[in-house]
Amino acid sequence: MIDFGIITVSDTRTEESDKSGLYIQKAMVEAGNNFVQKYIVKDDASQITAAYNKLLVSSCKLILVNGGTGIARRDVTIDTLEPKFIKVIPGFGEYFRQISIADIGLKALVSGATAGITDSDQICYLLPGSTNACKTALEKIILPDLNHLIKEITK
């Protein structure tokens, strides 16, 4: 059982309309993990950072951020959080885009999805806001390899 937290980055989502955040929470709990906290913040670097910092000092070993990973001017999640990683996991984003091409075509190439390790030895995934993209990431990449990654960063 792994403690996890969620950050949804969106200018429009609310607790009721946050389909991606709700999907992530449900899928992770159904996989036997422990939900700790969720934050819904605007596409704003200071709000994203504040939520991230709260999860850094929590019991979470996994932080799942959804939204703000595209190429629009308002998409600041990658620029805000990736520099905070002590190590980037480039293979996650590369593989995520590769398998997403089968679902959505070349549009997958504009996703900045990435992952990294925090200075608190947590894994942080930066995912698109699309529920389908979150489902692809969780089912095909994150959940199958999660225990291995947690073991690697805590040894």
The arithmetic mean of pLDDT across residues 6-12, rounded, is 97
Q: Give per-residue pLDDT as tens, 72-111.
A: 999 999 999 999 999 999 999 999 999 999 988 888 888 9
How many other CB atoms are there within 10 angstroms of residue 19's CB atom?
Answer: 16
User: What's this model's pTM, rounded to 2 decimal places?
Assistant: 0.96
Q: Measured on CA atoms in the order 98, 73, 43, 115, is the torsion positive or negative? A: positive
Q: Give per-residue pLDDT as tens, 37-83.
A: 999 999 999 999 999 999 999 999 999 999 999 999 999 999 999 99
